[in-house]
A = this chain, B = another copy of it.
Amino acid sequence: MRATVLSAPREVHIDQVPDARIIEPTDAVIRVVVACICGSDLWPYRGFDPLPETGRRMGHEAIGVVEEVGSEVRTVRKGDLVLMPFAFSDGTCVFCSEGLHTACTHGGFFSYHTEGAQAEAVRIPFADGTLYKVTAREDDKALLPHLLTLTDVMGTGHHAAVTARVRQGTTAAIIGDGAVGLCGVIAAKRLGAERIILLGRHPDRIALAREFGATDIVTERGDAAIEAVRERTGGLGAHSVLECVGTEEAMRTAVGIVRPGGAIGRVGVPHHEGIPAGPTFYNNITISGGPAPTRAYMDELLPDVLEGRILPGRVFDRTLPLEQVAEGYRAMDERQALKVMLVP
């Protein structure tokens, strides 16, 4: 079958690989209906993450149709349309029971610890605990993009908002105008934030953020951004800061704009050493977040997607056939595309 492999920084291509197949009795194999490229895929693409010598199978978000299940799989069967969250999880361990599937004692991340989803098919470990069955049609082109975001970016934006403790009537600031940041805007609005300040600089993304509910846009960076947010919040800062980037500058900005007693929800994969210990202490700042348990959030977010109350799939601004995956990475790397959907 065909699958996306990153063999070296910026060298991403379609390879012929062995067909996905059942290995453990708890596995399933899904045929990929739609997959996509994540902002976090750009870290290894740009050479910021170490690569295995044999390259890395890319992709961790997909909607698929179950092709085959192992003998111990109980909750999905051949023909089911399913969401594949970016992490696999056994569904039964203490952390899965608590809704923190990304800490599953037997789990891991697609593309890092097992195959990738930018492919014709994927083997799914712990199919019962990982896959989420939906009752949509695989040819529902209008609905699929929105559903696809529940496998990562919408669930991740929601996690940022939850861990940043967004509440009714509060002020939320979102750092980053990528797909996760924009889904963070949706999540902040959905949880009742009254002021929603997006820190971003790209006109198309800003326009989408406004449609999603952003009330203020801050295009400055660094100290100027901190000052701009403070000006807009009566000098106090934002109750909640959604850190959707992962760089040292983004964290520094988050600490600078959060209100005393407020919270920072981190979902940008950190590519920096430390969180400043002093200013966060003296201001009683809560820092939270991490890899989002998107599997756990599907129950809560799915009805809003199915009933059209939120439209997170609008973050996809380009659709390409799987063969053109390299073009998709190039476009996202150069910020010509916000998020690229791939159709095998």
Which residues of A pack against B, CB within 8 Å? 94-95, 98, 100, 102-103, 163, 236, 251, 260-261, 266, 269-270, 272-278, 280-291
Most buried by B among A251, A260, A273, A289: A260
Complex contacts, A291 vs chain B, CB 8 Å: 281-282, 284
* Contact of A277 (CB < 8 Å), options: B236, B251, B286: B251
Q: List 20 A-B contacts (CB under 8 A).
A: A95-B261, A98-B261, A100-B260, A103-B260, A103-B261, A163-B284, A269-B281, A270-B277, A273-B276, A274-B274, A274-B277, A275-B275, A280-B287, A280-B290, A281-B290, A282-B291, A284-B291, A285-B290, A286-B287, A287-B288
Q: Are A281 and B266 in contact (CB under 8 A)?
A: yes
8 smallest beta-carbon distances between A and B, as pairs:
A274-B274, A284-B290, A103-B260, A270-B277, A286-B288, A275-B275, A100-B261, A287-B287
Beyond A100-B261, A274-B275, A274-B276, 11 extra complex contacts between A and B, CB < 8 Å: A100-B260, A163-B284, A251-B277, A270-B277, A270-B281, A273-B274, A281-B289, A284-B288, A284-B290, A286-B287, A288-B288
Complex contacts, A285 vs chain B, CB 8 Å: 288, 290
With A100-B261, A103-B261, A275-B275 in contact, do A236 and B94 touch (Cβ < 8 Å)? yes
Complex contacts, A286 vs chain B, CB 8 Å: 163, 286-288
Distance of A177 Cα from B275 Cα, bound (Å): 26
Distance of A236 Cα from B97 Cα, bound (Å): 14
Minimum CB–CB distance for A97 against chain B, Å: 11
With A287-B287, A288-B287, A290-B284 in contact, do A270 and B278 touch (Cβ < 8 Å)? yes
Distance of A266 Cα from B276 Cα, bound (Å): 13
